[in-house]
């Protein structure tokens, strides 16, 4: 992709994991190009390209690659599990590697090919102390003082997990947007609603901070798997059904491994007139 770059154009890729969709910019070998203005413009589904998150690939820093993540509102995201899997698949196919390391704001992550053309990524160990999630004060993280008594989990970004009896009846937009900026979360929060259907089976819907409702959320699925196990509702290995399909989660000693499908939809180039308007 770098060969296509000129001062007046910008190549990008569109990818998704279970409908959780991403614009991916490959900036290896050059300076980072993403700015809040570019992220907001590209994220506009009517006037730009549209995405749930933007991922920018940069040269590795003691790793095979580095990844930065942006939300549609122009803010940066600390972690994005499905985008990490999508980019990992792209890099492994390009290089012929079966595994690689990825530097993110979350830390150094490992990714690998899995059976049936799936991709696995280790999203690291969850952050369970209130200050690390982070929360604004020292409270019981497994029973937050919020209506519904949700669970707080950090996965490089904060998550607020509500366990519900009937997920079909949850107004995700209303409750998600109301909880995103709750004062207990100084950096705002992703909001998950989860219905446990068995010891290894969960249905989840999600409201992502800075974006809204998405069809899937990798870090959110990790947070739900951790929260469900902490509450004694499931084991450490679960399958989670999101609006876009299924993810497999396995909380091991070295972190939370997430496995699922990826899709590279197309590669294109932004028109000079689009970039000049920013």
Tell me how far CA of residue 140 lies from CA of 146, 149, 227, in angstroms: 11, 10, 13
- ω before 73 within 30° of 0 (cis)? no
Tell me how far apart the alpha carbons of residues 140 and 120 are, in angstroms, rounded to a whole number: 32
Separation of alpha carbons 226 and 229, rounded Å: 5
Q: Do the Cβ atoms of 33 and 41 come closer than 8 Å?
A: no
Q: With contact defined as beta carbons under 8 Å apart, do 268 and 124 qualify?
A: no
Q: Scanning the structure block, which residue is given the tokens 């951790």?
A: 226
Provide the annotated active-site residues. Answer: 80, 217
């Amino acid at each position: 992709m770098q060969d296509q770059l000129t001062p007046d154009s910008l190549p990008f890729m569109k990818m998704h994991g279970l409908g959780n969709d991403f614009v991916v910019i490959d900036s290896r070998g050059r300076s980072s190009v993403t700015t809040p203005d570019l992220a907001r413009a590209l994220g506009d589904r009517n006037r730009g390209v549209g995405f749930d998150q933007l991922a920018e690939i940069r040269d590795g820093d003691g790793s095979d690659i580095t990844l930065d993540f942006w939300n549609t509102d122009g803010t940066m995201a600390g972690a994005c599990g499905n985008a990490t899997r999508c980019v990992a698949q792209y890099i492994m196919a390009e290089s012929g590697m079966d595994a690689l390391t990825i530097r993110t704001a979350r830390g150094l992550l490992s990714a690998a090919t899995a059976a049936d053309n799936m991709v696995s990524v280790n999203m690291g160990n969850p952050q369970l102390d209130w200050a690390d999630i982070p929360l604004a004060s020292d409270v019981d993280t497994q029973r937050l003082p919020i209506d519904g008594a949700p669970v707080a989990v950090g996965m490089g970004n904060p998550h607020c997990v509500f366990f519900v009896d009937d997920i079909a009846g949850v107004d995700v937009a209303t409750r998600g947007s109301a909880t995103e900026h709750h004062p207990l979360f100084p950096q705002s929060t992703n909001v998950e609603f989860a219905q446990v259907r068995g010891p290894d089976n969960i249905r989840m819907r999600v409201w992502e901070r800075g974006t809204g409702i998405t069809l899937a959320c990798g870090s959110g699925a990790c947070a739900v798997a951790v929260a469900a196990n902490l509450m004694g509702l499931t084991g450490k290995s679960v399958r989670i059904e999101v609006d876009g399909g299924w993810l497999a989660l396995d909380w091991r000693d070295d972190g939370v491994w997430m496995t699922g499908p990826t899709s590279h939809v197309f590669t294109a180039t932004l028109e000079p007139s689009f970039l000049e308007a920013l």
